[in-house]
Structure 1
Amino acid sequence: MKNTVNNITNLKILASILLLLTLTLASCNSKGKSDAANTEAIIENTDQEVITITENQFISGNMELGKISMQVFNTVVKANGTFAVPPQNQSDVSAYFAGYVKDISLLPGHAVKKGEVLFTIENPEYVQAQQDFLEAQGRLSYLKSDYERQKELMADNVSSKKVFLKAESEYTVTLAQYQSLKKRLSLMNIDPNTLTGENIRSVISVNSPLSGYATSVNVGKGMYLNPSDIAVTVTNTDDLHIELKIFENDLPMVKVGQQINVRLQNSKNKVYIGKVHLVNKSINAQDRAVNIHGDLVNEEEVKLFAPGMYIEAEILTTTAEHPALPSEAVANIDNDFFVLVKEDNTNFKRVLVKIGATNNGFTQILNASDFAPDTEFLTKGAFNLITE
């Protein structure tokens, strides 16, 4: 009996030892697997920083290598505006006298020359003005001779001063009427020097004050036109210039002579070069903006544009050189910027960089001193590799 109890006790001890060994081995295996996983993760993380590119991949992907170089960067003031013409190159044409439009064949866009008839208007009152002029002209010759005769008679004490003063008064009043009517006829485009009773007319013409294009036509045949009504707008586009608006805080940076890069709203890839010609010294109280006037450097390009055309512009205020890489070489990942640095013939390392301004396809590298002068970067084809 005693032997039986001892055997049972020994079996329990043996089972406990086996259980302990099993737990120990399990613990060791678990730790080993955990350590292996951690090692694998570190290796995997390290591999993410190095990208291997074969020669075939490099050629087929049209990839390129390059180095950090000094590039020109401009400090710019952005502005919006339009093309416009100076005040002397645009005229709102109206008739000096009211009347009905008798004849007009003008359409917006028609080219006109200075002095060319734009339209004609008709009014019976024009006849009365011509009649009054001819009557004053007829009386003036007699009154002038009577005035001179009475002047001589008074000097010889043959005629009284009263008669002389009456002759002088009638002559002076009629002369004033004559000169006034002569000027009135000139405004009607009627030549007073050739006017006779046979060529009195009720229709007058309105001529163009300058050469250019009819940019707006606001009247039609038969319409009654008041002297204050704008009938036609004529614009000469030969002296087209740039009109921009900048914010008041940018005013100290803008000077006459600075370069302006001009882009059309729907064609931003094409840049036209201009120069600042005039800077307004007054700030608009409504929009707190300042007007800037500029001229295109290439005068032939003026013909490509029209007054009122909307433009976007950059005024280059300062210029400086900074180390830079092509913008295509820099990839943005969650507001961190990376480049691929060549380590050997096939391996490229992803490196964090600090960037500054971007201009003309180049990005400033603020920590350029961290790289050796002969360091090569993947300058084309890097973006997709970095972000993958």
Structure 2
Amino acid sequence: MVAIMALASCNSKEKSEVANTDTAETTADTDVITITENQFLSGNMVVGKIITQSFNTVVKANGMFAVPPENQVDVSAYFAGYVKNISLLPGDAVKKGQTLFTIENPEYVQVQQDFLEAKGRLSYLKSDYERQKELIADNVTSKKNFLKAESEYVVTLAQYQSLKKKLSLMNINPNTLSGENIRSVISVPSPLTGYATTVNATKGMYLNPSDVAVTVTNTDDLHIELKIFEKDLPMVKGGQSINVRLQNDMNKVYQGKVHLVNKAINAQDRTVTIHGDLVNESDVKLFAPGMYIEGEILTTTQEHPALPVEAVSNIDNDYFVLVKENDTTFKRVLIKVGATYNGFIQILNSDDFKLDTEFLTKGAFNLITE
């Protein structure tokens, strides 16, 4: 019986030793980890050295895409009237001078009639004024007649010029207006090329001069508009780079540059507005005014020794790396870290390691925390 038990004990020990040949071995020193070649390859592990990496100081901000004030126009009729015809939909492309809608009002007829009457009187009154001016110079007529002719001519000329301006605002050409083409319907043209972004008017609707019927937006000069806190203002300057991300797609980054920094602080939320331009002009077509974005303004750049973030493990606010000792052995070492940027983390105590020291830069986390 003693011999049988001894034999069974030996067999169990041999099986245990065989089973552990493919696992990471930890020696009496718990900071030393042994990794087999199979583990290294199957875990896609990578070793590397400390490198010098650029670190940017980042000011984070929220905002939206916007257009300059001159690229967005609220269109209204200068004169009250009923909408006769409108066929626009939000998103329709429009060109400068294109008719957006027409409005109708019988009062338009009276303006045209008054203009034609003033135009007809003006020729006679001008001739009479010039004749009275010559007569008064020769003392042939009285000053009273001359002043009367002058007054009637000046008043009628003012009426003529005023009505001519009104007709221009009504989009009626005063030079071609005659009694045969007087009309009660006028058209309202687009003041710029762009898109009809809002359409408030409907057919038959009564429009007052202050009512906004259509909003036209030109998106060619779409720019970045961000808000930063006042404490970050001294760090932000024109020409600095901006990383822009859409709130529904944080993985895609668009490049921009700071164009203008507002010098006034919003008293309500203590923020400052930053204006920027997209570096790639073709990106403008991807966005629309009002789209919310998140931005990172890169204020300063410094070079620091660093390792990939994946090479460092945080355990109870202590940071560890695995330092390669030989082909199969790594040692867990406590380090000091600084800033993190673009997938790299700053190593503050890099001088503690030799230049040729190698670290496990991929696959270290699971081994360190085991």
Query: 1:216 Cα shift?
Result: 0.8
Query: 1:106 Cα shift?
Result: 0.5
Pairing 1:225–2:215 present = no
Query: 1:156 Cα shift?
Result: 2.1
- SS of 2:55's partner is strand
- Aligned-partner Cα distance in 2 for 1:360–1:304: 25
Which residue does 1:338 correspond to in 2? 320
Query: 1:50 Cα shift?
Result: 2.0
The alignment's C-alpha RMSD in Å is 1.4
Letter in 1 for 2:149: A
Which residue does 1:296 correspond to in 2? 278
Pairing 1:101–2:83 present = yes
Query: 1:48 Cα shift?
Result: 3.2
- Contact kept, 8 Å, 2:27 with 2:33, in 1: the verdict is no
Number of residue pairs matched by the alignment: 346
Which residue does 1:195 correspond to in 2? 177
Pairing 1:163–2:151 present = no
- Aligned-partner Cα distance in 2 for 1:375–1:231: 71
Runs of at least 5 residues in structure 2 that lack an aligned partner in the other structure: 1-25
Which residue does 1:256 correspond to in 2? 238
- SS of 2:228's partner is strand
Task: Please give the per-residue CA displacement for 1:18-64, whole angstroms capped at 9, x wherever unaligned.
Answer: xxxxxxxxxxxxxxxxxxxxxxxxxx894532222111111111111
2:350 alignment partner, one of 368, 371, 386? 368
Which residue does 2:249 correspond to in 1? 267
* Greater per-residue helix proportion: 1
2:164 alignment partner, one of 182, 185, 191? 182
Q: TM-score, normalised by structure 1?
A: 0.87
Task: Please give the per-residue CA displacement for 1:331-356, whole angstroms capped at 9, x wherever unaligned.
Answer: 11121111111111111111111111
Pairing 1:351–2:313 present = no
Task: Please give the per-residue CA displacement for 1:121-176, whole angstroms capped at 9, x wherever unaligned.
Answer: 11111111001101111111111111111112222222111111111111110100
- SS of 1:192's partner is coil
Matches within 5 A, 1:22-37: none
In the TM superposition, structure 1's runs of 4+ consecutive aligned residues that sit over 3 Å from their partners are: 44-48
- Aligned-partner Cα distance in 2 for 1:98–1:128: 14
Runs of at least 5 residues in structure 1 that lack an aligned partner in the other structure: 1-43
Matches within 5 A, 1:319-334: 319-334=301-316
Instruction: Work out the percentage of aligned pairs sharing the same amino acid.
Output: 83
Letter in 2 for 1:109: G
Q: TM-score, normalised by structure 2?
A: 0.91
- Aligned-partner Cα distance in 1 for 2:190–2:91: 14
Larger Rg: 1
Which residue does 2:292 correspond to in 1? 310
- Aligned-partner Cα distance in 2 for 1:46–1:205: 92
1:71 alignment partner, one of 41, 48, 53? 53
Letter in 2 for 1:82: M
- Aligned-partner Cα distance in 1 for 2:227–2:41: 48
1:213 alignment partner, one of 167, 171, 195? 195
- SS of 2:299's partner is strand
- SS of 1:181's partner is helix
Letter in 1 for 2:254: Y
- Aligned-partner Cα distance in 1 for 2:200–2:35: 69
- Aligned-partner Cα distance in 2 for 1:87–1:117: 22
Which residue does 1:132 correspond to in 2? 114
- Aligned-partner Cα distance in 1 for 2:60–2:27: 43
- Aligned-partner Cα distance in 1 for 2:368–2:289: 47
Which residue does 1:281 correspond to in 2? 263
Matches within 5 A, 1:33-72: 46-72=28-54
1:116 alignment partner, one of 75, 98, 109? 98
